[in-house]
Structure 1
Amino acid sequence: MSTYAIGHLHDVNVGPDIVEYLRRIDETLAPFGGRFIIHGGPATVMEGSWSGDLIVIGFPDKTSARAWYDSPAYRKILPLRTGNSRGDMFFIDGVSSDHKAADILTELAPMHQCLG
């Protein structure tokens, strides 16, 4: 199952460190099958509000995503980003191509029985 590294960044200082980070991140992704799905850009807000930049990097699975994040190559450039922006970063699994919205009800049922 695909896993996605999601970053929601704010207050990015696009200076020499961020430029260096951007020049080097692709080479850290390649060994783990990572690729950019979304890399910032303007959002068309339809409901609520939005600020910052959204970054989504796809990986073949959670093991690959974690191996990338923990790799010496990525750890070496990570301070270039974290020292020049603030935000959140997390991993989340995708769903199968035949996933339907109601499929989540099976996962929620045990939780609702405990609450009920």
Structure 2
Amino acid sequence: MILEILSIFSLTKIAWHDIRTQKIRNSDLIAAGFPLVLLYWGNWLISFLNFIIYLSLYILSMRKLGAGDLKLSIICALPLSSVFQLMQAVATTWFIGGVFALFKPRTSIAFAPFMILGTYLAKFSIP
């Protein structure tokens, strides 16, 4: 329970820093990822699949998606326990991010908050 709270605090810090600077620090990724790896190591394959999805998007978008977002994709998928939850998280992330982008056109947006929100909405809405 304490590790989960610590990781949520660290993910919140990542989201806040990304909103302010559009950068995700590696030290914050390590602080968020370490407790999640300890808790959810068994979900490494789902995490790897999420990384492949975001790596494809990173390449197709010609690096419009940040490298920090790519690294965050590994950490965000650790709490997910099934491929169905992963697909729900990715769809929710892109839907919420897309709706937000409609109201803020022609500017770059911080994507980490949407990734984190989409992950936890999928985790708690699908058993």
TM-score of the aligned structures, taking structure 1 as reference length: 0.32
User: Which of the pair has more CA radius of gyration?
Assistant: 1
Bigger relative contact order, structure 1 or 2 (CA pairs below 8 A, ≥6 apart): 1
Bigger helix fraction: 2
